[in-house]
Every structure is written in structure tokens, then in C-alpha cells.
Amino acid sequence: MEALVYDMPFGLVFRKAVLWHDGKAHVFRSLEERKRDPEHLQWEFRCVSRAGVELDVALDGRGSNLHRLPYLKTDCTGSFEVANNSLARVAVQVLQPGGPIEKFETTTGAVLEMAGRG
């Protein structure tokens, strides 16, 4: 699974998540953020695909592997801080139309990266 949210020019926001499940890609365009906490590196969101697949995701990047790095701006006018944990926890619930809820979880297998301070 991969999810990406970033600010674009003119106040637009790009949101997309892709879940590979049973050999099929499920694409999600509208992510409803329930929690976004760059300070403590936590992110929770829900989304529904056009095919009706529902996804609930909770990522927790707190812990000893959390680190913060300065990233150079693309126009070289300075830098901004990015928090990263490549050993983050994630819990994902998938509900396909007419199917049972499937739960997936890892305690050290997700990568979470976030810019800003909330």
C-alpha cells in the first residue's frame, strides 16, 4: 500500500492511495484525514474507491527510529523539516463490497514521512 498527500500551487491538494490486494490495484482519490500529527508522526485516514472498496488506515511513526531531516527546497531558497520513520506501525482494514472486513497490521514494516509541524 502507498498513500501520498501533498500541497500543490493555487491551494490545490493532491491525494492518492493505492492498495495492491489479491493481485489487483485499488486506487483511492479522496482521502478523509481523521488525524494528521507531524509533531508525533501519526496519520489516520479513511477512503473509498470507485468500486466501493473501503479502507481505514492508522500509521504510527513514534518511537526510537523517528528522525527529522532538513530537505532543500526545489528552488534552493532554503530548507524545510521532514519527519521520517522507516520502522513505523500500521493497521489497515479493508472492506470489499459484500465481503468481510480484512485486517492487516505490522509493528515495524511501514515507512511514514511527513513535512510540517501540524
- What is the C-alpha separation between 86 and 110, in angstroms, rounded? 6
In terms of pTM, does the model score above 0.75? yes
pLDDT of res. 7:
81
Q: Which amino acid is at 16?
A: K
Closest CA to 17 of 59, 60, 55, 58: 55
Model confidence over 54-111: pLDDT tens digits? 999 999 999 888 999 999 988 999 998 999 999 999 999 999 999 999 999 998 889 9
Phi first, then psi: what are they for 33, rounded to 5°?
-75, 125
Where in the sequence is the domain holding 81, given as residue range(s)?
Answer: 2-115
Domain count, the chain: 1
Instruction: State how far the Cα of 110 lies from the Cα of 103, in Å rounded to an integer.
Output: 15
